[in-house]
Amino acid sequence: MKRISWDQYFMAQSHLLALRSTCTRLTVGATIVRDKRIIAGGYNGSITGGVHCVDEGCYVIDNHCVRTIHAEMNALLQCSKFGVPTTGAEIYVTHFPCLHCCKAIIQAGIKSVYYAMDYKNHPYALEMFEQSGVKVEYVELKDMAVSLNNPDKLAFIQRLISKLEEAGASNEEIKKWYEEANHLFSTQA
């Protein structure tokens, strides 16, 4: 069996974190790594104890959800909260960071940014990274052991099973379909 690369491993972790996001506009995950060890992770969501976008919708001002704390910021704040230094660390992010997150990444002493998807890549962000000597690299997500479409697939299966219930399928049939779907989604390919 061939193992996935370190870049793929850490990027997969970021995508897994993104599945915890509570923002309905974009799900983002970030993993901070030092010496091939994960030191923090974050996803975009609301403040602790606050209202979540998935519950009440996004709070949008000037085309930005102001309720959401970005994944990169949550990961950096986790390091701060627990006294974990970030100087010389690397960050793996599902999407190219926004300008504010770029500045925070630079100020935190992160030496490398790896991202899987372009997202409004601002030229000034690239300029700041270059000025600060921060390496920026696109890491194409492949070799995934985690299916990132499971929530969509599960929602689709749920809708199909609901239609079967509405059509008068027996409880035994419905139970069988649920068990088969659970088995399908809990088995790794």
Q: Identify the DSSP state of 69.
A: B
CB atoms within 10 A of CB 84: 14
Segments of the chain assigned E as strands: 29-34, 37-43, 60-61, 64-65, 90-95, 112-117, 135-138
Q: Which of these is catalytic: 72, 166, 179, 180? A: 72
Tell me, yes or no, if 72 is annotated catalytic: yes
**CA-CA distance, 61 to 63, in Å (whole number)?**
5
Burial class of 120 by CB neighbour count within 10 A (0 to 12, 13 to 18, 19+): exposed
List the catalytic residues.
72
